[in-house]
Amino acid sequence: MGQTLEIVFWGVRGSIPVSRSDALGYGGSTSCVEVIGDNGQRIVFDGGSGIHPLGNQYMKEGFPQDLSILITHAHWDHIQGLPFFVPAFIPGNRMTFYGCNQGATLFEDVLKSQMETPYFPVKLSSWMADIRIESIGESVVDLNGMKIESSYAEHPGMTLGFRLDYKGKRIVYFPDNELFAKFDMEKVFVERDMNDEDLDMETVFLEDQKRKFFSFIGGADVLIHDAQYMPEEYGSKIGWGHSHFEMTVRAAIYGKVKHLVLFHHDPSRSDTDIENIVKSSRRIALERGSSMEITAASQNDPRLVLA
């Protein structure tokens, strides 16, 4: 049986790119993930610095017939590669960008503004490819048989996560998401009877968040999720919009995910740090009786195949 979907990690870091020698094993580019279907459809999640080498590969091997690029949000680490995406400057190439408005600012204007003076010397209007820019919120888009559903994330500004369903396979991409922010972790993973009249409003709100999130990721073959912080760091970073790896692991177990890919590695993390996070994450899963596979996203071992 051939592949159904292939995931390629072009950028795995959060915040800023890194080039230290102790951090190159997993890679130093910021968020960019390509999904390739067995029908030839290619979808790119985010345009961080990792989209630059992806564009260079397209220039060598040929540009897809119609590329879809889905942007979770417009923080620099998710769009900073777009001005350097060479295929966008080539007439005849076709691509569609999807992303959410920021309040009254249209998604198209968000993309344009990062390439305006004084931020960049070349305007978005210099892109010569056939470009479409679509504003979406919590939406469903069909891309050549791939169903893409979006859901708002817990992150400053308007931010999306994406779920891709195709031929019975499910990939969920949530690179910037602070899981159940400000809730005690031990309260999150408790089963409750929602018919109980004694539930307080905080618990009702938590249960509503849980219902939405776990129905979105439930049973995913691959969940690519924010795991930027260490648990001991998180207390001073509440509200910054990122999860610590223990919460991510426990949420993936609760959501019956088959394979968790830890993502959005903090720029301070060395390869050894990330390896230790993976070991700790696997230990957490083992202690909870879970056989879920856990890996860390890596640009140097970038391909993950779902057959």
Per-residue pLDDT reduced to its tens digit, 247-296: 999 999 999 999 999 999 999 999 999 999 999 999 999 999 999 999 99
> Residue 37 sits in a domain of what CATH number?
3.60.15.10
Structure tokens at 209: 């968040």
In this structure, of 94-108, 136-150, 187-201, 268-282, the range with the lowest mean pLDDT score is: 187-201
Lowest mean pLDDT, pick from 159-163, 193-197, 266-270: 193-197
* Of 124, 135, 125, residue with least CA distance to 101: 135
- Note the pLDDT of residue 1: 44
Q: H or E segment at 279?
A: helix 271-287
**Mean pLDDT to the nearest integer, 112-128:** 94
CB 268 within 8 A of CB 28: no
Q: Give CA–CA dist 44/38, Å, rounded.
A: 15
Contact indicator for 162, 172 with CB cutoff of 8 Å: yes
Can you tell me the distance from the alpha carbon of 131 to that of 95, in angstroms, rounded to the nearest whole number?
5
Q: What is the DSSP letter of 267?
A: T
What does the pLDDT read at residue 2? 61
Total domains in the fold of the chain = 1
Distance between CA atoms of residues 12 and 78, nearest Å = 10
* Structural domain that includes position 76: 5-306
Please tell me whether residue 144 adopts helix, strand or coil conformation.
Answer: coil
Spatial CB neighbours of 238, under 8 Å, sequence gap ≥ 6: 178, 181, 182
* Per-residue pLDDT at 28: 97
- DSSP letter for each residue of 226-244: E--B-HHHHTTSTTSS--B
Please provide the average confidence, as pLDDT, over all residues in the chain: 95
pTM listed for this prediction: 0.96
